[in-house]
Each structure stands twice: as structure tokens, then as C-alpha cells.
């Protein structure tokens, strides 16, 4: 390292001047490479130092030189916690979450941490729940009437007729439409002795599908899933009525969209009737099911109908649910009683995984009125008849079944009840709503924040995402989006705030650090930091970049208490006040010392051709030289130093 010196010719009328000392102190003007704002690096700091006493400066030592130098950089940090936020978002619009930083005091945010738990997806899982509008049916106009030989026909049906269609003579009319998948008949007039006689309609397999007793005009039968229909009559030996006149029949075939329901719905029954299908009831598209009783005549010739316990007819749908555990659920559906007997032994029902969750007696429905649409409304899981083990601990891609239908609750023979021969119900808007655990990355969830995918956790419903950058404008906004129709989750948001500032001289606004050099060669530094703590933040810390040859002697908080600190030793590039110690806002005071690399034994004057002494008198001229110490204390990266020359006259001036 080269020598650094200063010379001066002094010509004063003073008898004796004495050079007391020549001091050199290092001025490190800290560049950006010595400043760190990396919070991870700060957290890795392990060493801690505490100095309980003030710098030990002898009272007898005088200050040779003092002044101010450039400031040191400070990075204040604090954390804004917003925990246990209950967030609800849907695919209709994004949800903007706002957080506020203290921009009035120039605080910014460098990192945002989001922790998401208990993601709950709520949606309707039934496909084609409100069914589809079916195409128009085909109509064939053709006259039919009861045929009761021998001729000439009297039109009125005969006494003691039998209804078994296996005997051709018992069949009055047959309707066949090749390719038909459903048919129904229109009676312009029908008169069958009420209660005592009965008209039967069978399909081509001689399975009873519908029975009628009474008088009506402009009457249309329900739809019957068949391509052939046969009419028979069972009569007693007393009164015989007009019989029937049919003017047309209608049908569907495969050229229509009749079978489109097969994409979503199936049918199940323990009876041979198997009559179900799509259509319209009171101008609403829906699906119907039929439960047919077994007509018979008792010993008094009264016509009754017999049902067996647990006979049922239902439509169902299998559903794959790619979700976690179910936390809540509801069912709902609309129903329309086209034919219903006033008896609560029979009932409509809804089952999930073959476990009944809802039922309603037909008697209660009839009391409210037949041929009117009703809705169950949403019936939540805590009101279900059976909730045990319906869902269990489901995981990804589990199959579930929902069914609605009619069931006979007892084996009973019914007499005198209106609509006792068949029970026909239409169902519409069948819903199974589930609230389940979900994962953010599932295609139908796709939960994102600020357009970025989240990182899945190890358990259902947990995710996280960290964002880094600089946010310095209020408010800080997180935009939440999802593909789910209704998604809720718990959110913990952590904003890592920071504030960059500089050291001050005293309790002023002047930037810098002050220093003092004493006669004994000691160099002492002092500065302050006015630490501001935004009200919503916690976990405050601050770190000050320092020259590596400084050693901090004390840190006083605003209450003048000595405080623990991290770093601050020779070789460290920082001093840190961690969250345990940074508890008070206000003026903090820091004192440090650094080596003096001038050795008085190497500081000489040139007199009489020799480098000797440290004084000269009036009239003499001299040169002064000194050098930086070559000890191991000299930082290897030292580029520039300043040497201060102080000359005192005999008066001490």
C-alpha cells in the first residue's frame, strides 16, 4: 500500500508549534453491494451480541477531530397478518381482496404469502335435471269402439266379459304401430260402469299398463311404453254401459328425441309394467313412472286393486363425484300426481345410494290436490330421514346414485279409492347439491390468485402460493377466480412490508453519521434511527448495513434501554434488531468504534535532512509523512482512505 502524506510551510511568529498527532480513520462509503434487503438472509443470522455498557472513553482524553460522514442504509420490515378470512367466490365474477400498506410513510410490500385451507365446492351434480323438451308426437286418426259380437253390435258392452288378453275373443281393439316406442289413446267418449266394471289396456306382451272405470269425454290415456296396445273389458252381470269410442292415437318412434334421456337417466322397477319415459305434464317437460296395481273382483263383485309391499318404480342417475369429504348436502325435486290414491301406505321417495332420504305419502299429496306441480324445496342433510354412511369418506372419482320414484309401503287390497288401479307421477328439476372438499387444481375448480395456479397441499382442500415483487400503491389487490359455481375457503394472507431509509445525525432530519477521534487514537461513531411502526403491522425488525471494520458498542431503544442485537461485529456487514427487541417506535441510538490505521511511530517530520521528531519552530519549513499500518487489521478490499492533519500551536489552538 502506498504512502499518503501532506506537507506545509508554516511561517508564523510563534515560538514553538507542536504536532500532537496525525490520525487516519477509514471512511467506508457503503455501496449497494454492502446493503441487503433479503429477508431470507436476515433470518439466517445466528450470532447475537449485547453490550450493556456505554463506550469506555477516558475523561482525560480530548477530541482531536469530529465531523459527519455519509449515511448508512436501513431496511425496516414488518408483517401484516390477515388471518381466518372466509372467502366466497363464483365463476360469475372474480373476487378482489384488498390490503392496505402505509404508503403515507413510504412503506412497501416485497412478498405476499397466501395459505388456503378448507376449500369447499358447492354445486348441483344431477345432469339434465330439468329434462328436455321432447319432439312432437305422431298422430293417427282412426275410429275404434268396443267390439262385442255376435252382430249386430249394440255398442254397449256385454255382461260377464273377461279381461284376459291371452284369449283373442276378449280383446275389443288392438293398436299396433311398427317402430313405436310409446303410445297413448284418445277416447272421444268412454263409459264403464263405475266401480263394478273395468276397462284394461295391455301392451303387446299382455302386461297390464292401465285400467279405467267411470265416465269421461275427450279423455287421453297416459303414455305407455309399447308399440302395441290391446283393450279388454271385465264386466259383471247387471249394468252395461256404452263402452268407448276412440278417434285417434299418438306415438313416438326413434326418429324423435324420445330416447335422449338415456344419456342421463335409467329406470328400475320390481314390477313387470316397466312403464316410464319423458314427456310433458301441464306444459312442463318431465319424466314419469308408473306403479300398477293388480285389479280383481271380490265376492261382492266389487272391483279392487292389490299392491305388494316394496313394489316400486323409479328413475335414477349415476353420478361420478371427483371430490373429497361431503360436509353438507341437499335434495330437491318437483312432482306432479297424474294418478294418485288417497293412502299414505304408498309414497313417493328420493334415495341416495339406495338409502332413503325423503318420502311423502300419497294421501298427503292428494289432500293438497292432484294434477298440480309441487316442489319439495331444498331439503338439507340434517333433515334427511337417513344420513348414516350415505357418503362416507369419499375421495376422488366416487360413483353415487340418486333415484326418485313411487313405492308401495304395504301389501294391501284397496277398494273404493279413486285412482286405486295405478299410481302415475311425473318428476322434474331433480337436484342433488353437495358441499365437498375440493382441490384448487381440479378442472372444474381451477382456483387462481392473480391469474396464477396455486400449489396443492398434502390434504384435500389445502393450497398455498407466494408472490414476490414490489407493491407500493394502495390498495394491494389479490384477484381470486374460479370455475366453480360456488366456492368457499379460509385464507391466511401475510404481507411482508418494508421501508428503506437512512441513518440520521442526532434526532434531526440530517442524513449521515457523526464521528469523533480522540487523542488516544480511538475512533467512535454515532447515529440515530427514527423507527416508525405502522399500526396494522407486527413482527418488526430492522437491519442496518455497516462497514465491515466497525464494531458496535451499544444500541439504545427509545426508552434508553440497552438492546440485544445481531451481527454488528468486525467482519459483519450488518447490525440487526430482531422482532424480539424491536418493540418501541421512536429514536434509536447506535454507537460503534472502528480501528485507527495510523501509527504515531510511523508519523515523522523532515528536519535537517532527516525524518525525525514531531515539532518545528517559527521560520522552519518541514514535510510530514505517515503510512497506513501493514497489519492484518487492514481490510484487503480497502481502496481509499482520508488522512486528517491537525496542527496545534502552543496555546492549544
- SS3 state of residue 200: strand
Q: Over range 272-299, report the average pLDDT.
A: 94
- What's the pLDDT at 627? 66
pLDDT above 90 (res 626):
no
User: Taking all residues of the chain, what is their mean pLDDT, rounded to a whole number?
Assistant: 86
pLDDT above 50 (res 242):
yes
pLDDT above 60 (res 44):
no
Q: Over range 348-369, report the average pLDDT.
A: 96
pTM of the model: 0.75
Distance CA 430, CA 280 (A): 15
Q: Which residue has the higher pLDDT, 245 or 12?
A: 245
Encode pLDDT of 479-505 as tens digits. Answer: 999 999 999 999 999 999 999 999 999
Q: How confident is the model at residue 643 (pLDDT cuts 50, 70, 90)?
A: low
- What's the pLDDT at 223? 96
- What's the pLDDT at 632? 59
CATH of domain 79-124+439-499: 2.60.120
Of the options 3.40.718.10, 3.40.50.10140, 2.60.120.290, 2.60.40.10, the CATH number for the domain spanning 135-256: 2.60.120.290
Distance CA 641, CA 26 (A): 5
Sheet containing strand 294-297, strands side by side: 294-297, 303-307, 412-414
Cell 354412511 belongs to which residue?
389
Distance CA 175, CA 140 (A): 10
SS3 readout for 486-529: CEEEEEEEEEEEEEEEECECCCCCCECEEEEEECCCCEEEEEEE
Q: What is the DSSP string of 220-265?
A: EPPPBS-SEEEEEEE--SS----EEEEEEEEEEETTSSGGGGGGT-
- SS3 state of residue 364: helix
- What's the pLDDT at 20? 34
Distance CA 253, CA 222 (A): 17
Encode pLDDT of 608-620 as tens digits. Answer: 777 776 666 766 7
- What's the pLDDT at 21? 36
Encode pLDDT of 314-355 as tens digits. Answer: 999 999 888 888 889 999 999 999 999 999 999 999 999 899
Distance CA 505, CA 70 (A): 10
Q: Which residue has the higher pLDDT, 156 or 398?
A: 156
Encode pLDDT of 101-139 as tens digits. Answer: 888 899 999 999 999 999 999 999 999 888 989 999 999
Q: Which of 146-150, 239-243, 546-550 has the lowest mean pLDDT?
A: 146-150
Radius of gyration of the chain (CA): 49
Kind and range of the H or E element at 362?
A: helix 362-368
- Domain span(s) for CATH 2.60.120.290 in the chain: 135-256
Amino acid at each position: 500500500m502506498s504512502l499518503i502524506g501532506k506537507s506545509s510551510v508554516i511561517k508564523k511568529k510563534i515560538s514553538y508549534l507542536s504536532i500532537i498527532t496525525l490520525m487516519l480513520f477509514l471512511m467506508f462509503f457503503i455501496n449497494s453491494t454492502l446493503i441487503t434487503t433479503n429477508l431470507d438472509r436476515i433470518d439466517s443470522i445466528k450470532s447475537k451480541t449485547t453490550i450493556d455498557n456505554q463506550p469506555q472513553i477516558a475523561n482525560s482524553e480530548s477530541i482531536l477531530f469530529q465531523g459527519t460522514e455519509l449515511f448508512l442504509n436501513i431496511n425496516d420490515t414488518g408483517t401484516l397478518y390477515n388471518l381466518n378470512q372466509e372467502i366466497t367466490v363464483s365463476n360469475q365474477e372474480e373476487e378482489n381482496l384488498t390490503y392496505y400498506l402505509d404508503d403515507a410513510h413510504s412503506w412497501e410490500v416485497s412478498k405476499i404469502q397466501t395459505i388456503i385451507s378448507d376449500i369447499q365446492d358447492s354445486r348441483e351434480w344431477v345432469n339434465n335435471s330439468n329434462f328436455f323438451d321432447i319432439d312432437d308426437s305422431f298422430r293417427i286418426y282412426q275410429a275404434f269402439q268396443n267390439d262385442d259380437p255376435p252382430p249386430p253390435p249394440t255398442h254397449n258392452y256385454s255382461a260377464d266379459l273377461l279381461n284376459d288378453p291371452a284369449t283373442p275373443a276378449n280383446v275389443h281393439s288392438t293398436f299396433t304401430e311398427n317402430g313405436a316406442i310409446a303410445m297413448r289413446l284418445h277416447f272421444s267418449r268412454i263409459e264403464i260402469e263405475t266401480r263394478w266394471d273395468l276397462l284394461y289396456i295391455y301392451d303387446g306382451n299382455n302386461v297390464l299398463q292401465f285400467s279405467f272405470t267411470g265416465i269421461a269425454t275427450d279423455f287421453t290415456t297416459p303414455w305407455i311404453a309399447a308399440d302395441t296396445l290391446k283393450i279388454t273389458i271385465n264386466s259383471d252381470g247387471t249394468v252395461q254401459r256404452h263402452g268407448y269410442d276412440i278417434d285417434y292415437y299418438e306415438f313416438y318412434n326413434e326418429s324423435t328425441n324420445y330416447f335422449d334421456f338415456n344419456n342421463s337417466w335409467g329406470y328400475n322397477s320390481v314390477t313387470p309394467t316397466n312403464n316410464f319415459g319423458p314427456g310433458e305434464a301441464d306444459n312442463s317437460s318431465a319424466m314419469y313412472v308408473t306403479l300398477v296395481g293388480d285389479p280383481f273382483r271380490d265376492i261382492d263383485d266389487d272391483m279392487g286393486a292389490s299392491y305388494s309391499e316394496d313394489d316400486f318404480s323409479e328413475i335414477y342417475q349415476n353420478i361420478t363425484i371427483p371430490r373429497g369429504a361431503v360436509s353438507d348436502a341437499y335434495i330437491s325435486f318437483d312432482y306432479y300426481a297424474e294418478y294418485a290414491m288417497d293412502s299414505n301406505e304408498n309414497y313417493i321417495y328420493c334415495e341416495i345410494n339406495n338409502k332413503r332420504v325423503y318420502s311423502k305419502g300419497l294421501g298427503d299429496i292428494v289432500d293438497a290436490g292432484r294434477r298440480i306441480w309441487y316442489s319439495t324445496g331444498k331439503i338439507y342433510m340434517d333433515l334427511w330421514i337417513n344420513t348414516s354412511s350415505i357418503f362416507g369418506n369419499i375421495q376422488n372419482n366416487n360413483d353415487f346414485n340418486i333415484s326418485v320414484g313411487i313405492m308401495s309401503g304395504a301389501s294391501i287390497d284397496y277398494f273404493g279409492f279413486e285412482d286405486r288401479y295405478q299410481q302415475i307421477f311425473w318428476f322434474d328439476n331433480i337436484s342433488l347439491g353437495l358441499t365437498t372438499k375440493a382441490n384448487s387444481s381440479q378442472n372444474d375448480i381451477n382456483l387462481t390468485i392473480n391469474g396464477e395456479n396455486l400449489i396443492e397441499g398434502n390434504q384435500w382442500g389445502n393450497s398455498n402460493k407466494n408472490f414476490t415483487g414490489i407493491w407500493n400503491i394502495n390498495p394491494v389487490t389479490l384477484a381470486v377466480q374460479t370455475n366453480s359455481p360456488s366456492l368457499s375457503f379460509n385464507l391466511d394472507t401475510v404481507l411482508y412490508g418494508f421501508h428503506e431509509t437512512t441513518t440520521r445525525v442526532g434526532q434531526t432530519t440530517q442524513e449521515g453519521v457523526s464521528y469523533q477521534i480522540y487523542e488516544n487514537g480511538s475512533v467512535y461513531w454515532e447515529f440515530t434511527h427514527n423507527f416508525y411502526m405502522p399500526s396494522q403491522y407486527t413482527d418488526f425488525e430492522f437491519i442496518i448495513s455497516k462497514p465491515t471494520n466497525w464494531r458496535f458498542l451499544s444500541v439504545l431503544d427509545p426508552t434508553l434501554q440497552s438492546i440485544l442485537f445481531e451481527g454488528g461485529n468486525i467482519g459483519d456487514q450488518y447490525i440487526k434488531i430482531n422482532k424480539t427487541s424491536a418493540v418501541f417506535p421512536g429514536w434509536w441510538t447506535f454507537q460503534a468504534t472502528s480501528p485507527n490505521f495510523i501509527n504515531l511511530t510511523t508519523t515523522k517530520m523532515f528536519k535537517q535532512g532527516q525524518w525525525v521528531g514531531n515539532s518545528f519552530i517559527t521560520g522552519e519549513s518541514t514535510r510530514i509523512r505517515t503510512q497506513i499500518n501493514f497489519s492484518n487489521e487492514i481490510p484487503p478490499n480497502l481502496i481509499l482512505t482520508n488522512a486528517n492533519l491537525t496542527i496545534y500551536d502552543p496555546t492549544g489552538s
